[in-house]
Amino acid sequence: MQKILIFSTPAREVLVDITSEIVKTIEASGIENGLCSVYVQGATAGIMIQENWDDSVQRDVTDLLAKLIPKGVWLHDQQDGNGDSHLKAGLVGPSESIPIINGKPGLSTWQNIFLCEFDGPRSERSVVVTILPG
């Protein structure tokens, strides 16, 4: 099964919790045990599994990446000013694979799935969810 989910992102750099939509997609698949691949289309976004307890960890992620990869100092900035966005997306990566266990994502209590926006805000980010039986 494969489904494309569309999300909007509210800021240039933000982690958007997409877990509830992934859970709905897994449940709709009817797959009890298998693998769920979550992949964002776009060269300036990523997918990350991270703590969900409060927003501080997500903010820490964007703050750390901003310190490691500052805006405005890269060759690609001469084209469209988002060289840092491409580098951050490359570092985080475009996908995560999550086991499906008893019809649910095999995440721990404190894990959620985040769409990482590095070049927003965007009205549409496409996330491809592919579910394979085990």
User: What are the residue ranges in the chain where pLDDT is below 50?
Assistant: none
Mean pLDDT of the chain: 97
pLDDT given at position 119 = 98
What pLDDT, in 10s, does the model give residues 70-91?
999 999 989 999 999 999 999 9
Q: What is the CATH number of domain 7-133?
A: 2.60.120.460
What is 56-76 written as a DSSP string?
Answer: HHHHHHHHHHHHHS-TT-STT
Where do we find the tokens 């475009």?
Answer: 94
Contact (CB, 8 A) for 12 and 133: no
Instruction: Give the global pTM.
Output: 0.96
